[in-house]
């Protein structure tokens, strides 16, 4: 199969497209013929070696955690899915950006989603849902999402709105129309956030989800009034000392099915900023690593 691979840790220039061995699904897994795969911040952090102590990989490695495609092989013990079914889902820390990928968690891809949209759904939705569920019931609550224009933040906005929350999202001013389209009340992040929130939400903020790790976690705790009302999916470094819960992405098919059900009802649509062909995987990683991405970056095979 053709795959993006890197043989050593480094910057995006270590990425190449080459022939690689076909992966084989194990028990409880499926293999898909990939239509598209997304690029997530974790992908370039792993590729660079920045998190090698936490997430070591065997080299050479194929980048990517989530993808969409048609099932072409089914592992032992798997039920409820057939050859040719169109699914989106998650594999391991690596392995998705290739013609064939193994998934350990998946759900049927909504017909309303394009391949590019479905490719950007899995990791963003399970991360967002992990954070939102850690905050408890959302209906009738006012939720602040820090970093709401990114892949996870944007998913969190739509999923929280669908759950009945009033959502305020922080982003650069040029992304405010995007946040409004997602269903959020937009404001800018940074110094003076509490004062701006007083104007946007005079009734106050009930809950906070941090998806940005921008150094604002202490201020977010002050805004919420209690660390128990704040969850971060990004700022592992500061969460412990502030008493803030961390929610990590999990390969949970129930979360994927929940996101897909909302997609079928037009309540959640993964937002894609830009797509790249497989041959431009290095440019796709560089784009993601440069930051300020609105929605998801997707590689099309």
Q: Give me the pLDDT at residue 165, please.
A: 98
pLDDT of residue 71: 98
Q: What is this structure's pTM? A: 0.95
DSSP-derived secondary structure letter, 173: G
CB distance 86 to 66 below 8 Å: no
Q: Which two tokens stand for residue 181?
A: 């389209």
**Residue 8 burial (CB < 10 Å; 0-12/13-18/19+)?**
exposed
Q: Which residues of the chain have pLDDT under 50?
A: none
pLDDT tens-digit profile of 17-50?
999 999 999 999 999 999 999 999 999 999 999 9
How confident is the model at residue 215, as a pLDDT? Answer: 86
Q: What token pair was written down for 30?
A: 């499926």
Burial 92-107 (b: 16+ CB within 10 A, else e): bbbbbbbbbbbbbbbb
Ramachandran angles phi, psi of 246, nearest 5°: -105, 130
Q: Cα 60–64–70 angle (5° rounding)? A: 110
Cis peptide before 285 (omega within 30 of 0): no
Res 182: pLDDT: 96
**Predicted pLDDT at 19:** 98
pLDDT at 152: 96
Spell out the long-range contacts of 161-164 with Cβ–Cβ below 8 A and sequence spacing 24 or more.
Answer: 161/267, 162/262, 162/267, 162/268, 163/132, 163/138, 163/139, 164/138, 164/139, 164/140
């Amino acid at each position: 199969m053709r795959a993006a691979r890197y043989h050593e840790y480094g910057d995006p220039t270590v990425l190449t497209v080459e022939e690689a061995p076909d992966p084989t699904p194990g028990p409880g897994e499926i293999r898909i013929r990939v239509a598209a795969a997304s690029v997530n911040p974790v992908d370039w952090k792993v590729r660079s070696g920045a998190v090698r102590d936490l997430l070591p990989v065997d080299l050479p490695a194929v980048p990517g955690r989530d993808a969409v495609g048609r099932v072409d092989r089914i592992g032992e013990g798997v039920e409820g899915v057939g050859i040719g079914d169109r699914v989106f889902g998650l594999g391991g820390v690596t392995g998705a950006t290739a013609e064939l990928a193994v998934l350990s968690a998946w759900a049927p891809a909504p017909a309303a989603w394009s391949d590019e949209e479905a490719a950007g759904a899995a990791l963003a939705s399970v991360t967002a849902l992990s954070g939102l569920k850690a905050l408890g019931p959302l209906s009738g609550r006012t939720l602040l999402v820090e970093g709401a224009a990114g892949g996870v933040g944007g998913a969190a906005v739509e999923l929280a709105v669908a759950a009945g929350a009033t959502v305020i999202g922080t982003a650069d001013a040029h992304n405010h129309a995007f946040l409004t389209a997602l269903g959020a009340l937009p404001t800018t992040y940074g110094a003076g956030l509490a004062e701006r929130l007083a104007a946007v939400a005079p009734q106050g903020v009930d809950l906070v989800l941090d998806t940005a790790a921008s150094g604002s976690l202490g201020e977010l705790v002050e805004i919420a009034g209690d660390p128990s009302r704040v969850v971060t999916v990004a700022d592992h470094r500061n969460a412990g000392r502030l008493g803030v819960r961390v929610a990590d992405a999990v390969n949970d098919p129930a979360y994927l099915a929940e996101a897909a059900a909302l997609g079928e009802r037009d309540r959640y649509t993964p937002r894609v900023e830009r797509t790249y062909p497989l041959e431009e995987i290095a440019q796709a990683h560089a784009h993601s690593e440069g930051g300020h991405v609105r929605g998801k970056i997707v590689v099309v095979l």
